[in-house]
Amino acid sequence: QVNPQYEGTFVFPNDFPALQPDAPEPDALHPSHFCFLHSKVMCFHPWSDLTLPLMSLAEIRAVIDAWAELVAELGASYPWVQIFENKGAMMGCSNPHPHCQVWASSFLPNEARLEDRTQRQHLSQHGVPMLLEYAEQEARRKERLVVENADWLVVVPYWATWPYQTLLLPRRHVCRLQDLCDGERDSLASIMQRLLIKYDNLFEVSFPYSMGWHGAPTGPYMKEDCGHWQLHAHYYPPLLRSATVRKFMVGYEMLAQAQRDLTPEQAAERLRSLPEMHYK
């Protein structure tokens, strides 16, 4: 099957969805549930050598708009819509054409349930959305701040375990991507470009990472109060010391607890100091 000629973003069904059609019979040691998953792939740009940091702001904005449209479209039927990008062979990406995936599931995945619970608890105990309060604190302290603008900030989070892990946060209370106004989408394109250029400049390589968006659940949750949620994006890059030396989560980290090779403050300072003009 050959895709049509396209000039911007291009969305199509994933030919290899992750879920099996049939669930095995469950028992006490092997619980299982039947569920649905709708999988799509989005190519960012027709050019196969043009990654997000090399795209124009208008082209990145088109990607953001497509993300928001997909969350709204799939979220009408599914409780969770997961947008994610695995960039680079080091992160298991089998197709070098810059793209992301969008999986809509009939259930809340583990990470979504954990974030829902912790954010709900924080709002109940402190009266303010957790990540909104966290963004305000990081904006004041500056020590873990990487880049910021009027609507967004990027920090190396206090709890980071990957060397140059970052968290992208809006400054105002926003639950879902489709809730962003026109100006916030423009400023999101700008801050994404700035962050990703810094990533590429760190070791002068097309920087590998896994990233994804988390926002309030959709589907039936659209009728519920999700005010405890705050939209955000996670970036998990593996590189540690060079373009070829990466961090491995092994040994003690796999069997006991993750360890840091850099403090979040050291990583943020390093990223902050990098130029915002691409090395190419």
**Annotated catalytic residue, options 38, 45, 99, 228:** 99
Annotated binding-site residue? 115: yes
Here the tokens at position 188 are 């999101």
Phi, psi of 268 (to 5 degrees): -65, -40
Distance between CA atoms of 44 and 193, rounded to whole angstroms? Answer: 14
Catalytic-residue membership of 122: no
Residue among 158, 113, 149, 111 nearest 131 (CA):
158
Annotated binding-site residue? 228: no
The binding site for Fe cation consists of 115, 214, 232, 234
Residues assigned a catalytic role: 99
The binding site consists of 115, 214, 232, 234
